Structure 1
């Protein structure tokens, strides 16, 4: 997902996306702990996507003030 796609979403949609990314990150950490994770790069991608969503949410909050 890229920043342009995220900027087109509403803050509520972004919060839902962030919640989904956090759940996915938890599942990936669990898989890694049990030795079932095959693609370790996926963890990095999910973390970066979550950070990207947080950044867009903060940008939207700052422009609303």
Structure 2
């Protein structure tokens, strides 16, 4: 997901998105552990999406605090 897509969401939407991404990342890790994961690049993509979402969430919270 692109950063612009995350920026268009509000704080509650971003928090839900982070939770969904964390759940998806957990599922991918479990697939890797049981050797069912075929596309290993998904792990990195999901991890970067989590970082993007958390960064934008922190920026929005900081703006709201001002």
After TM superposition, the score normalised by the length of structure 1 is 0.96
Instruction: State the alpha-carbon separation in 2 of the partners of residues 64 and 14 from structure 1.
Output: 14
Instruction: State the alpha-carbon separation in 2 of the partners of residues 35 and 24 from structure 1.
Output: 16
Instruction: State the alpha-carbon separation in 2 of the partners of residues 21 and 37 from structure 1.
Output: 17
After TM superposition, the score normalised by the length of structure 2 is 0.95
Aligned twin of 2:39: 39
SS in 2 for 1:28: helix
Segments ≥4 residues shifted beyond 4 Å? none
**Mind listing any 5+ residue stretches in structure 1 that lack a counterpart?**
none
**Mind listing any 5+ residue stretches in structure 2 that lack a counterpart?**
none
Instruction: State the alpha-carbon separation in 2 of the partners of residues 56 and 19 from structure 1.
Output: 14
- Equivalent residue pairs, number: 65
